[in-house]
């Protein structure tokens, strides 16, 4: 599901704090980091419970929708799940907002206090932030092909580790590198494409196309789908892949002007 831009809230708060902190300022008393981190843990626990509940509901509902015919009991269950879905989505969004708020408050305080930067709780909070950044970046890619935004999210998470003087987690770094790899289509990957490939086979080579670059047209009674991929800015232009009945039937490296 599309998420509210709550990650940006954490980014904004921390950047403001980084810019305002100074040795000459009078520092407030150090917070009780154990108590503050307990709030973060509770918020994340609530979020995971809401996420699990929503995913379970959607999974069951999608399974029923995929069936060609439903029994009377299944139809009744489907209607029940559809009625419960809006409330489950609201519960998730509320839990997500609360999680991000608690995390933002904690990291804003901890990362701007030299005595707390290396605390175990700060490391754990950064890991929680990284986990959600990875999930958000993955959603951006899988659902809309927005590699640019995914890279931004992951780079921000990396910057907090750097600010704290901590090593960037391997999964965070590798995910960002993978997103950078698929942001633009290269000639060597384009040359791996073959006629007859399915969309999933193509994605394994090209990555997910940006939602705005997926276009459908009618030609002689046939529904044609085109995926447009930008090439490296140094080279410019874009390449296109054409699908007919779920299979690649044509490809064009120079589909758009440089």
Tens of pLDDT, residue by residue over 112-127, are 999 899 899 999 999 9
Domain-embedded: residue 208: yes
Model pLDDT for residues 129-153, shown as the tens digit of each residue: 999 999 999 999 999 999 999 999 9
181 neighbors 206 (Cβ within 8 angstroms): no
Tokens of 236: 């410019």
Domain range enclosing 245: 187-256
pLDDT at res. 2: 41
Q: Please check whether residue 75 lies inside any domain of the structure.
A: yes
The pLDDT tens digits of the residues spanning 28-72 come to 555 689 999 999 999 999 999 999 999 999 999 999 999 999 999
CA-CA distances (angstroms) from residue 36 to 127, 200, 226?
16, 45, 51
Average the pLDDT over each of 12-26, 142-156, 166-180 and give the range with the smallest value: 12-26
Residue with tokens 């907002």, as numbered in its chain? 97
Domain count along the chain: 2
| Pair type for strands 247-256 and 222-230 | unpaired
Asked which of 125, 158, 183 is the last residue of a domain, the reply is: 183
CATH, residue 239: 3.30.1450.10
Q: Among residues 137, 154, 183, which one ends one of the domains? A: 183
pTM for this structure?
0.82
What is the rounded end-to-end Cα distance, in angstroms, of the chain? 35
Residue 25 lies in a domain: no
8 A C-beta contact, residue 232 and residue 246 = no
For residue 256, name the pLDDT band (cuts at 50, 70, 90).
Answer: confident
- For residue 184, give the nearest of 128, 106, 238, 257 by alpha carbon: 238
* Per-residue confidence (pLDDT) for residue 26, from 0 to 100: 47
Among 166, 183, 200, residue at a domain's last position: 183
Residue of 227, 224, 152, 216 lying closest to 185 (CA atoms): 227
Q: Is 14 a residue whose pLDDT tops 90?
A: no
Q: Which helix (H) or strand (E) holds 96?
A: helix 72-110
């Amino acid at each position: 599901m599309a998420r509210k831009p709550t990650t940006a809230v954490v980014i904004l708060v921390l950047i403001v704090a980084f810019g305002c902190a100074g040795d000459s300022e009078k520092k407030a008393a150090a917070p009780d980091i154990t108590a503050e981190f307990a709030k973060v843990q509770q918020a994340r626990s609530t979020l995971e419970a809401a996420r699990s509940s929503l995913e379970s509901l959607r999974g069951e509902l999608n399974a029923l929708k995929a069936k060609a015919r439903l029994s009377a009991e299944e139809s009744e269950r489907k209607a029940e799940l559809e009625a419960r879905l809006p409330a489950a989505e609201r519960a998730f969004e509320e839990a997500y907002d609360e999680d991000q708020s608690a995390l933002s408050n904690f990291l804003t305080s901890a990362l701007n206090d030299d005595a707390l930067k290396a605390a175990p709780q700060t490391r754990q909070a950064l890991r929680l932030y990284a986990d959600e950044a990875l999930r958000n970046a993955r959603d951006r890619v899988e659902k809309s092909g927005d590699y640019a935004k995914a890279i931004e999210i992951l780079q921000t998470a990396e910057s907090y580790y750097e600010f704290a003087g901590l090593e960037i987690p391997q999964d965070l770094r590798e995910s960002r590198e993978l997103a950078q790899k698929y942001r633009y289509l290269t000639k060597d990957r384009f040359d791996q494409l073959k006629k007859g490939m399915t969309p999933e086979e193509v994605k394994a080579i090209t990555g997910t196309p940006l939602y705005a670059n997926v276009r459908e047209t009618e030609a002689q009674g046939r529904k044609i789908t085109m995926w447009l991929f930008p090439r490296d800015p140094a080279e410019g232009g874009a390449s296109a892949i054409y699908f007919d009945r779920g299979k690649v039937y044509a490809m064009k490296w120079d589909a758009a002007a440089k």
